Amino acid sequence: MITPYNPSVFNVSGVDSRIAAGGALGMLHAPTAPPPQAVLSSILELERIKVTFDHQQLEEPFYKIHSSKCKSWLCPKCRVGKGLALKESLMNKAYLFKEPRLYTITINREFFKNPAEAYHYVMDNKFIARLLTKEMKIKCWIWILEAQEKNGDGWPHWHILIDVADLPTKWYNRTTKKSQYTKPENTRGWRKYNNFFDLNKIHRLLHKWKIGGCYLSEKKSSFKSPRHAINYIVKYLIKTPERFFPQWMLHYTGLRFYNPSKALGSMSAEPRKVKPKEQEEEQEEEEPEEKEKKTKPRLPIDRISECGLKYYFSYYDIEQDKMIFTEPAWGLPGSIQKILGAVENKDLNFKTQKEYSIWGFKHKKDVERFEHIWDNEDLLYALAEVIESKKQEYLNQWDEA
């Protein structure tokens, strides 16, 4: 079914608001005033120094085009970069996991109406932090959320990586499930464990709190190496699940996919890159009334269906001595390659030492022309159709698999 073009579908600021946001004439976001050449030259002329200004001599910056990404964990395009950034962050703290262990916390489905309710209950009450920090005295831990793909309906479960090095040595009786610090008189049925992690206590608490259970993830000795364990756990964030994500996750705003303990400190899942202005502003502290005005956060399914369908430009502004980012606008960044005046440059990835292509314009007038090309009802209508079909594809993947 074809729906008529409606700009609000895109939920993006139109031409007017872009200009209001700082763009001068035309659509380019160019907040700076031109250099005061006239003033300068007249002063110099008073000093009897002859000055002629040639505007062509002022070199224009390179206007580099970027693709605007949704940065959602549910986006197949964005999660890889985020996952790798988190992995790097974690690897830098691998030394904190002296005795790493991997477990999985699962949900007892009888306690809940649906997966979303279970997720909300566990998160809202901060049960995992309570369990690990307060009850089990684990200092360093991190959990990673995954939706159960194989046996069912996308119920949440949490992979946890913990460091048990601080836990004391204890004696444990398998039959009675009792544990104690001192050696029992009769050691029959008892075993001494270094860094004793009391799984029975965990099961008891998870049952009491009406959550579910906790299980050893996999019995692999390689997980005794912190780096192996980190590799294993972040895999769930980097890889896109075969079935994609269940409906409830695609419609749940504010899903958390990982959380480190306080002792582990903050972790970054943001690929190291300069951020466009729009995203920088999102993270800034807001005035209270601004918060009230702020519209409801958008659904993940809407965000990920639009990923990569907006472009923005960046350029170095000599006057301000800083990078300027234009506001993201609807359009395919790749289309620049077919536009007259587009230039391909090479950039170097310092990490991999590999060159990669960047595209842009040498002249502001070309940028403006590109913006005008995309400010076209038919093209925006076509984009809306792309978004809609992506959305349907994402929504149906789980059930079709």
Q: Which residues bind Zn ion (CB under 5 A)?
A: 69-70, 75, 77-78, 307
Cα dist from 107 to 209, 210, 219, 221, 270, whole Å? 11, 9, 21, 26, 30
Are 371 and 28 in contact, with CB atoms under 8 Å apart? yes
Burial letters for 197-206: b for 16+ Cβ neighbours within 10 Å, e otherwise? bbbeebeebb
Q: Which is nearer to Zn ion, 75 or 122 (CB)?
A: 75
Q: C-beta of 78: minimal distance to Zn ion in Å?
A: 3
Q: C-beta of 383: minimal distance to Zn ion in Å?
A: 15
Side-chain-side CA neighbours of residue 356 (13 Å): 8
Q: Which is nearer to Zn ion, 105 or 307 (CB)?
A: 307
- Provide the token pair at 223: 């997980």
- Output DSSP code: residue 135: I
Q: Which is nearer to Zn ion, 77 or 139 (CB)?
A: 77
Helix residue ranges per DSSP H, 21-163: 37-46, 76-91, 115-124, 127-129
Q: C-beta of 303: minimal distance to Zn ion in Å?
A: 7
* 3-state SS, residue 47: coil
Rounded Cα distance, 242 and 212, in Å: 25
Q: Which is nearer to Zn ion, 29 or 69 (CB)?
A: 69
Q: Which is nearer to Zn ion, 78 or 206 (CB)?
A: 78
Q: Which is nearer to Zn ion, 250 or 307 (CB)?
A: 307
Q: C-beta of 70: minimal distance to Zn ion in Å?
A: 4
Are 22 and 29 in contact, with CB atoms under 8 Å apart? yes
Q: Which is nearer to Zn ion, 68 or 106 (CB)?
A: 68
Helix residue ranges per DSSP H, 34-75: 37-46
Q: C-beta of 333: minimal distance to Zn ion in Å?
A: 13
Tell me how crowded residue 116 is: count the other CB atoms within 10 A of its CB: 19
- Provide the token pair at 43: 């002063």
Q: C-beta of 328: minimal distance to Zn ion in Å?
A: 13
Q: C-beta of 74: minimal distance to Zn ion in Å?
A: 8
Give residue for tokens 């209001």.
Answer: 20
Strands 212-216 and 342-349: unpaired
Cα dist from 45 to 35, 37, 41, 183, 247, whole Å? 17, 12, 6, 96, 71
Q: C-beta of 394: minimal distance to Zn ion in Å?
A: 11
Q: Which is nearer to Zn ion, 75 or 118 (CB)?
A: 75
* 3-state SS, residue 309: coil
What residues pair up with 215 in beta bridges, in sequence order? Answer: 104
What residues pair up with 359 in beta bridges, in sequence order? Answer: 344
Angle, in degrees to the nearest 10, between helices 226-238 and 76-91: 160
Q: C-beta of 228: minimal distance to Zn ion in Å?
A: 29
